[in-house]
A and B are shown apart, each in its own frame.
Chain A
Amino acid sequence: MKKLISVLIIMLLALFTVGCIEKVDNKEVTIDENQVESNDVQEQVTDNTKFVSFKGEDMEGNEVTEKIFSENKLTMINIWGTTCPPCINEMPYIEEINNEMKDSGFELIGVVAGGKASKIDAEDIFNKLDLHYRNLLLDDKYLMALKVQYVPTTFFVNSEGEILGEAHIGAISKEEYLEIINGYLEK
């Protein structure tokens, strides 16, 4: 029995060690603003600083592509799930943020996980919470390309379609969002 335990423990340790070493080699999706200028970016197979090109619909059925980023100085993409309580809980106040900041060249755009399959539930939730910001239905393959695994995840994108800073995982307070937004708008 002791042998079995030792073998199992060694296997577990090996698994974790190899896992950690592998992770160091992985290029992380989130890239600092500073690296945009460096040459390294061009050498990457996928351009990680640019938000993935996409084609999807908004809730009214209009086609939407990455061109929407050019409509605003700063776009906040909030990826949420219809069964995710932290996502739902922050939506009322990010709606407020959208209302307060939209005259400053800012727009909040929601993206619901599950895309078209979640449309009815998403509409239901938007009605219940009296939300009016734009919400997109994108195929999950775009979320996978962005390496989004958790909800809520929030990206800030400039008018050139480049992701600013890191993806924000988890819900944060209204004040923290405003701080980040004002920080980006000032640049």
Chain B
Amino acid sequence: MTARLEVRAVTTAFGGIRAVNDVSFTLDAGERLSIIGPNGAGKSTLLDGIAGKTPFTAGCVLLDGAVLPPNRPARHALAGIGRTFQRVEVFTSMTVAEHLLLTLRAAHGSPRLWRDLRRLTRQTKGEAEQINETLEALGLERDAATVVGTLGLGNCRRVEVARALIARPKVLLLDEVSSGLSTAESAALVATISALAMERQMSVIAIEHDLDVVRAIADRVLVMVQGSVIANGTYDAVMADPSVVEAYLGSNA
């Protein structure tokens, strides 16, 4: 059976530095993977490569068996890869609802000039329903008409998640999604994402530093150090791995 996502021997080099070094793994439909590792391990570079933002120097990414074109983030998104960012990338003058509407419209792939001119792109009932449903799932329904530039960091992160989820991605990439959120907010967000992943058979890759979140969200954990994978397994197995302990706490631990 074809894996939902296959990352095949990918490498990203910046000059002489290999930020990601020959990394391979697969992800099944509905499976949730967490990537952990110290700062500078190459986690975000790997995620950027999977999302098409940064080209891999070698290797490739396959979604449902098809190779994704490198360095084409919009094509990756339309193929079914949704993502959030370590440093939030929101549209500050848009409202929360407009973020979601944009994603639905972008699913068509190109701007609809003639439909705009004929005023056929007003929000449809179907679009409104999808937006409301997503906002409710993320607890953002009260902020639908709020301009995102006025929201705090935590809410901006939830907007990013909502924006990614409304497109019903096959794979959702989360980059430190819990940072800026309180413990209760993190727990609620993780519960929502986990439930949707199960319901929609959506695969999830989450970069996290908060190990409680990692334990809650991940079926499997992948540990990276200096661009390479040093461990890949269940949370308990990985945490018991001596090489992981050494990478985090040093050889004298």
Q: Do A and B bind each other?
A: no
